[in-house]
């Protein structure tokens, strides 16, 4: 059980927990418990609730950083932007820092996050030592590998359907002031995957250590690995928060075996994708040179782009524009394809070849990962000891013959290749397949124990039925 006023839990945090519990008690009996939170990094439609929600306004900061133990106690709604700002002055960072500043630690743990350190550090929830969770029963319990272990292990990928994290104690790792980058071009997907596999296994390339690893496929004949190495050596650094665009800086002509080099401060490296939301800022015109000069730098970030997407979803702006452009024959409406999937590394070239020939979206992001935990995680059962590659693609395509046509094709292909996909966006699985893929028995056992009255949504209802 949660006990207030210890060294790691400040008075301010304790007050935030009390407001959270009071807001839970104020929700009418029988009403679904949800967060009173206007923003989200989820990309699936959801029903708007008319009942009061949970007050998490007091759970947004870093409670304490222990630079000796290399741990941090963090409130569940703390953004990674604030978390990194608190740890970098100590020469430390979270083991995995998801790409966007607005992602919260609690969101990355109850959902899934990934980044270029995942090939050696796994996923964000694997650095959690313990966490306080508000359960569906209205109790705050401390879950760890030894205390409430069934909740601790089922919590990742439960998306708030087993409870909400109130406080998390996480591991930190040392960092250096700079990251030296090396961008390697490959004209063949099998060659890229072979190089990636070797780096994952050895954590090095051509005799140099590799601390961070991700990549981009612009096409099957133009794809890149981006190798990052921590360094304290002083020197000039690039800035991709202004007119220059990070993902464009990766590209270079074929025939350069040594690749292209670059340097960033550690902070700019961690947020290198945020300024242009990877490459998605182009849909708002933010990459057009004239517009970019007029677009204030402080508004070039994922928070602003996410608000623009929310407005579009709320008022169907994109579809309305598309309908006005209808000609004869009718121009098709669009299907949103915003997904992150994982496939085994030895099937990655096969998936990317299929994707490039089937889904008209480019570029796509590539990020290898390997779980740290030897037992795996029941609600996202990728295999321990096996390397996977996350493939991220975020755009839209012409609508197919049935709703979700392209998304369903992707789901089927990923399942065929022994992979999984994240649930932050639309999903279309039948109930039986969903239970098989996402740890149905373990989930139901944890649900019965920690949300016996079903005050929180069911995972299938939330992820697939979009309630």
Residues 82 and 123 in one domain: yes
Among 240, 272, 304, the domain boundary falls at: 272
Name, in order, each residue with C-beta under 8 angstroms of 170's C-beta and a sequence gap of 6 or more: 71, 72, 74, 94, 95, 105, 127, 128, 129
Q: What is the residue-wise DSSP string for 63-87?
A: EEEETTTTEEEEETT-BHHHHHHHH
Query: Whole-angstrom Cα distance, residue 392 to residue 277?
Result: 12
101 touches 82 (CB < 8 A)? no
Look at residue 309 in the predicted model and tell me its pLDDT: 80
Report the half-sphere exposure of 184 (CA within 13 A, side-chain side).
21
Domain count, the chain: 2
Within this chain, do residues 37 and 53 fall inside the same structural domain, yes or no?
yes
Kindly write down the DSSP assignment for every residue of 109-149, as one continuous string: HHS----TTHHHH--GGGGEEEEEEEETTS-EEEE-SSSSH
Q: Is residue 366 part of a domain?
A: no
Domain that holds residue 46: 11-175
- Residue 318: strand, helix, or coil: helix
Backbone angles phi, psi at 155, to 5 degrees: -65, -45
Do 63 and 198 have their domain in common?
no
Number of Cβ within a 10 Å radius of residue 5: 9
Global pTM reads 0.92
Say yes or no: 153 and 201 in one domain: no
Please give the structure tokens belonging to residue 244.
């220059």
Element of type H or E holding 444? helix 440-450
Whole-angstrom Cα distance, residue 137 to residue 454? 8
Cα angle 196-198-201, degrees, rounded to a multiple of 5? 110
| CA-based nearest residue to 226, from 112, 361, 117 | 117
Provide the CATH number for the domain around residue 28: 3.30.465.10
Instruction: Pull the structure tokens for residue 149.
Output: 């272990």
Is residue 90 situated within a structural domain? yes
149 and 184 both lie in a single domain: no
Cα–Cα distance measured from residue 262 to residue 239, given in angstroms and rounded to the nearest whole number = 10
For residue 466, the model assigns a pLDDT of 78
**Exposed/middle/buried for 69, CB within 10 Å: 0-12, 13-18, 19+?**
exposed
Is 167 found in the same domain as 23?
yes
Per the domain annotation, does 252 fall within a domain?
A: yes
Does 452 reside within a domain? no
Q: Are residues 162 and 207 in the same domain?
A: no
Phi, psi of 137 (to 5 degrees): -80, 0
Q: For residue 398, is it within any domain?
A: no
Q: Are residues 119 and 72 in the same domain?
A: yes
Same domain, 233 and 98: no
Q: What is the pLDDT of residue 321?
A: 46
In a domain, 385, yes or no: no
Would residue 34 count as lying in a domain?
Answer: yes
- Mean pLDDT of each 10-residue bin along the chain, 467 residues long: 49 93 93 78 59 90 97 97 98 97 96 95 98 97 98 97 97 98 98 98 97 98 98 96 96 91 98 96 93 92 86 58 50 85 98 98 98 96 96 95 96 97 94 96 98 96 87
Q: What is the DSSP letter of 418?
A: T
CA-to-CA separations, 356 to 221, 222, 352, 359, 373, in angstroms, rounded: 11, 12, 6, 6, 33
Shared domain for 194 and 247, answered yes or no, is yes
In a domain, 363, yes or no: no
For residue 328, count other CB atoms closer than 10 A to its CB: 5
Cβ–Cβ under 8 Å, residues 99 and 75: no
Q: Which of 146, 175, 204 is the last residue of a domain?
A: 175
**Do residues 138 and 266 share a domain?**
no
Which one of 160, 175, 190 terminates a domain? 175
Is 99 in the same domain as 143?
yes
Sequence-ordered list of residues with C-beta below 8 angstroms from that of 283, at least 6 positions apart, any chain: 395
């Amino acid at each position: 059980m949660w006990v207030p006023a210890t060294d790691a839990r400040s008075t301010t945090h304790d007050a935030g927990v009390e407001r959270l519990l009071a807001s839970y008690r104020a929700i009418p009996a029988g009403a679904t418990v949800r967060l009173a939170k206007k923003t989200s990094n989820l990309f699936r439609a959801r029903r708007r609730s008319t009942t009061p929600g949970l007050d998490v306004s007091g759970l947004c900061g870093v409670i304490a950083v222990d630079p000796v133990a290399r741990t941090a106690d963090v409130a569940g709604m703390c953004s990674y932007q604030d978390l990194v700002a608190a740890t970098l002055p100590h020469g430390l960072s979270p083991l995995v820092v998801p790409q966007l500043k607005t992602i919260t630690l609690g969101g990355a743990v109850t959902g899934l996050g990934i980044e270029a350190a995942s090939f050696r550090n796994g996923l964000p929830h694997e650095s959690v030592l313990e966490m306080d969770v508000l359960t569906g029963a209205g109790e705050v319990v401390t879950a760890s590998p030894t205390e409430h272990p069934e909740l601790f292990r089922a919590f990742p990928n439960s998306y708030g359907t087993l409870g909400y994290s109130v406080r998390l104690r996480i591991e930190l790792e040392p960092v250096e002031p700079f990251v030296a980058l090396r961008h390697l071009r490959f004209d063949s997907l099998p060659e890229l995957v072979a190089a990636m596999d070797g780096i994952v296994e050895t954590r090095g390339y051509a005799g140099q250590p590799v601390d961070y690893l991700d990549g981009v496929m612009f096409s099957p004949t133009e794809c890149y690995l981006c190798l990052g190495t921590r360094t304290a050596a002083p020197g000039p650094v690039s800035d991709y928060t202004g007119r220059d665009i990070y993902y464009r800086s990766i590209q270079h002509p074929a025939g350069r075996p040594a690749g292209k080099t670059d340097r960033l401060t550690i902070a700019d490296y961690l947020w290198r994708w945020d300024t242009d939301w990877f490459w998605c800022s182009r849909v708002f015109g933010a990459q057009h040179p004239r517009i970019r000069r007029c677009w204030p730098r402080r508004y070039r970030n994922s928070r602003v782009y996410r608000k623009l997407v929310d407005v579009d979803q709320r008022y169907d702006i994109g579809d309305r524009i598309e309908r006005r452009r209808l000609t004869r024959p009718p121009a098709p409406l669009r299907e949103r394809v915003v997904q992150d999937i994982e496939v085994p590394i030895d099937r990655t070239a096969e998936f990317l070849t299929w994707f490039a020939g089937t889904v008209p979206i480019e570029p796509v992001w590539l990020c290898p990962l390997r779980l740290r935990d030897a037992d795996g995680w029941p609600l996202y059962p990728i295999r321990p000891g096996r390397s996977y590659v996350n493939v991220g693609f975020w755009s839209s395509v012409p609508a197919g013959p049935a709703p979700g046509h392209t998304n369903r094709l992707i789901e089927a292909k990923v399942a065929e290749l022994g992979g999984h996909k994240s649930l932050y966006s639309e999903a279309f699985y039948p109930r039986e397949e969903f239970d098989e893929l996402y740890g149905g028995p373990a989930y139901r056992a944890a649900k019965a124990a920690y949300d016996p009255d079903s005050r929180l949504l069911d995972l299938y209802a939330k992820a697939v039925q979009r309630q």
